[in-house]
Amino acid sequence: MTKRLVSGQREQGDYAIRRPNFERASDILPNQEKAIERACAMEPCSYQN
C-alpha cells in the first residue's frame, strides 16, 4: 500500500500536508511550493495535490 500525502491551503493562507482521511497535519508551510518540496522529502513520489 502506498502512503500518499496531500496538501491544501488552510483558512490562514498557509499550506498543510496530511494523509488522506486524517485531520491532523503532518506539517504546515507558508506556501505551496515549500509544501510540495516537504511532501516529496517525507514520502518520495507520493505527493498528490
pLDDT digits (tens, 9 = 90+) for 2-30: 568 888 999 999 999 999 889 999 999 99
Domain count, the chain: 1
Write the DSSP string, 1-49: ----EEEEE-TTSSEEEE-TT--S-SEEESSHHHHHHHHHHHSTT-EE-
Prediction pTM value? 0.77
Residue-level pLDDT at 49: 62
How many Cα atoms sit within 13 Å of 30 on the Cβ side? 0
> Is the CB of residue 19 less than 8 Å from the CB of residue 26?
yes
Q: What is the residue range of 31's domain?
A: 5-48
